Chain A
Amino acid sequence: DAGVIQSPRHEVTEMGQEVTLRCKPISGHNSLFWYRQTMMRGLELLIYFNNNVPIDDSGMPEDRFSAKMPNASFSTLKIQPSEPRDSAVYFCASSSRDGTYEQYFGPGTRLTVT
């Protein structure tokens, strides 16, 4: 199994530009999570999906952030327009929810907004 795949691994963009982060969960997993990690705030849950449906997006910081999961094997997190304070590492994780709840994380996307 290839594990959770995220792209790009690194993204540098200018303030005001649109940024799209991509995630492919582990095959067979039916829950997907987007997290943001910073030194100041640690690991924060932004949004999670169950069976491709957004369940809780209360962690999404503001309307500039949006996430979609068009099918079971792909999700995107979009920031538009981006701001310097969005600089962080963004992780995607997936889980099977088969009675056990552990999550398997991707390698992350390091986003730098200048």
Chain B
Amino acid sequence: EDQVTQSPEALRLQEGESSSLNCSYTVSGLRGLFWYRQDPGKGPEFLFTLYSAGEEKEKERLKATLTKKESFLHITAPKPEDSATYLCAVENGGFKTIFGAGTRLFVKA
């Protein structure tokens, strides 16, 4: 069964304290792995797509990496405005999308 597991469930950081979020997955025929950001009361907002192991993508303070079993979302020198829930998702060979439960990130000034 296709599955996505994110850790930790919640992460509290001080402003400027870099860290990483983990997304472990098992999927039949990975078509893509996605990272989304979700703010309270809003829909998920697309951040990155990774297609194959070894791929990396960056956007401002965020960097996403992919291996055959997991993905990391690295946050460098976070700011309070980076506080949100970060969701990982995979699309399998049947074009079905499976989301993880998310990591709630809190960044304190």
Residue numbers of A with Cβ under 8 A of B are: 4, 33, 35, 42-45, 48, 50, 55-56, 58, 91, 93, 100-108
Contact = CB atoms under 8 A, between A and B. Distances in A.
Nearest to A6: B43
Contacts of A102: 32, 34, 46, 49
Contact of B43 (A45, A58, A93): A93
Nearest to B102: A42
Given A42-B101, A107-B42, 16 more contacts: A33-B97, A42-B100, A42-B102, A44-B99, A48-B95, A48-B97, A101-B31, A101-B32, A101-B34, A102-B34, A103-B46, A103-B97, A104-B46, A105-B36, A108-B42, A108-B43
Contacts of B87: 43
A35 B36 CA distance: 14
Contacts of B45: 105
Contacts of B102: 42-43
A105 B94 contact: no
Contacts, number: 53
Given A43-B99, A101-B32, A56 B94 contact: yes
Nearest to B91: A101
B59 interface: no
